């Protein structure tokens, strides 16, 4: 079966930066609904379109086509007393954007006795990403998957995204 709109694609990948430094490697296939449902980057969908199980390729996405450029305006310095204790570097907090519409995940990147530095950029913002992709399976999406615009696993549970939000829903 060929990858096309309304197919569910299982893919394994290795993710590296443009210099070849490994960022992440999938230990099991990632599953997404193909066809413009924001299950993966459009560049990945474009490369996989029309191919079948076993297809393998490498693609590089520039920041604009992945998680965007690093935005220094998404760095905040806040009073530490506004946060719960214990507080550690790496902890994350959700806040709304300037318009109060979309949530932004802020990561604690530095702490002092009275200040907290928060970064609202995606961890891979500003980085060109190189994917080595191998298609493990392709199947027709169910009517429910198309209606819900999400891929589900064999037990009917929604597929959970990986560490960097690469599949199935991008941020």
Kindly report, residue by residue over 137-158, the tens digit of the pLDDT.
999 999 999 999 988 876 555 5
Q: Report CA-CA distances (Å) from 47 to 4, 39, 57, 93, 118.
A: 11, 14, 8, 35, 35
What are the residue ranges in the chain where pLDDT is below 50?
160, 168-171
72-119 CATH: 2.40.10.330
Pick the CATH number of 7-66+126-148 from 1.10.1060.10, 3.40.190.10, 3.10.50.40, 3.30.70.1880: 3.10.50.40
Whole-angstrom Cα distance, residue 167 to residue 158?
12
Model-level pTM?
A: 0.79
* pLDDT value for 155: 56
**Phi and psi angles of residue 128, each rounded to the nearest 5 degrees, phi first:** -75, 130
Continuous segment of H or E residues that includes residue 16: strand 7-17
Residue 108 structure tokens? 């604690």
Whole-angstrom Cα distance, residue 72 to residue 120?
9
Start and end residues for every CATH 3.10.50.40 domain found in the chain? 7-66+126-148
Question: Counting every residue, how long is the chain?
Answer: 171
Q: 3-state DSSP helix/strand/coil percent for the chain, to nearest 5?
A: 15, 35, 50
Bridging pattern class, strands 103-111 and 92-96? antiparallel
SS (H, E, C) 73-102: HHEEEEEHHHCCCCCCCCCEEEEECCCCCC
**Phi and psi angles of residue 74, each rounded to the nearest 5 degrees, phi first:** -95, 15
* pLDDT value for 103: 85
């Amino acid at each position: 079966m060929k990858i096309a709109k309304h197919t569910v694609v299982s893919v394994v990948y290795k993710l590296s930066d443009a210099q070849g430094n490994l960022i992440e490697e999938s230990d099991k296939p990632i599953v997404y609904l193909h066809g413009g449902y924001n299950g993966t980057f459009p560049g990945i969908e474009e490369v996989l379109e029309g191919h079948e199980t076993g297809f393998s390729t490498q693609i590089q996405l520039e920041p604009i086509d992945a998680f965007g450029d690093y935005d220094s305006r998404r760095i905040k310095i806040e009073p530490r007393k506004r946060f719960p204790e214990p507080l550690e570097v790496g902890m994350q907090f959700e806040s709304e954007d300037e318009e109060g519409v979309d949530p932004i995940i802020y990561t604690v990147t530095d702490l002092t006795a009275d200040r907290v530095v928060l970064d609202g950029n995606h961890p891979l913002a500003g980085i060109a990403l190189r994917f080595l992709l191998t298609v493990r399976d392709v199947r027709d999406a169910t009517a429910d998957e198309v209606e819900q615009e999400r891929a589900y696993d064999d037990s009917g549970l929604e597929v959970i995204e990986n560490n960097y939000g690469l599949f199935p829903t991008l941020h």
